[in-house]
Amino acid sequence: MSGYVIDLDRDRLQIDVIHGVVADSYWARGMPRALLERAIANSICVGAYQGDVQVGFARVITDRATFAYLADLFVLDAHRGNHLATEMVAALHAHPELQGLRRWMLATRDAHPVYAKLGWTPVAQPELFMQRHDPDVYLRAGE
């Protein structure tokens, strides 16, 4: 972590960096910037920085009482391997507005080991969970 800072200050977030990564990600490809800005405004966010440059991000969507969904976590390629994802999630776990929640959820294609180190486990009864998914919503947002 040497040379890096984890910060929950929303004013420090660099939307250009965040949008550049999220809109090109497998989970939110094509997300319009205005939609991401609205999502960030309604989430608890954390950033990872090297000096004045944002190199990582994550956000939590929550009711601040019972449930939280961890979303949009990334670390820029050149900064991976420095435990930044782990530190950002730990900062969110410690956030005062996220204490006492009954359930946290996330979806990931390939980062299961990162979350497992922080106490996350596979869903015990996946047959109980459902989704309403519209994979083309960002394509229509530009129409």
For residue range 29-57, what is the model confidence (pLDDT) as tens digits?
999 999 999 999 999 999 999 999 999 99
Closest CA to 47 of 77, 18, 19, 27: 18
Mean pLDDT value of segment 125-141: 90
What integer pLDDT is reported at residue 2 of this predicted model? 81
Cα–Cα distance measured from residue 5 to residue 81, given in angstroms and rounded to the nearest whole number: 15
| C-alpha dihedral sign at 82, 85, 30, 129 | positive
CATH number assigned to the domain with residue range 5-141, chosen from the 4 options 3.40.630.30, 3.40.718.10, 2.60.40.420, 3.30.70.100: 3.40.630.30
> Is 26's pLDDT higher than 80?
yes
What integer pLDDT is reported at residue 1 of this predicted model? 61
Residue 11, helix vs strand vs coil: helix
What integer pLDDT is reported at residue 142 of this predicted model? 62
Cα–Cα distance measured from residue 54 to residue 107, given in angstroms and rounded to the nearest whole number: 23
As a whole-number percent, the residues of the chain with pLDDT over 90 amount to 92
For residue range 84-119, what is the model confidence (pLDDT) as tens digits?
999 999 999 999 999 999 999 999 999 999 999 999
> Is 141's pLDDT higher than 80?
no
> Is 143's pLDDT higher than 70?
no
Q: What are phi and psi of 97, to 5 degrees?
A: -85, 0
Strand positions, DSSP E, the chain: 5-7, 44-50, 53-62, 67-75, 103-105
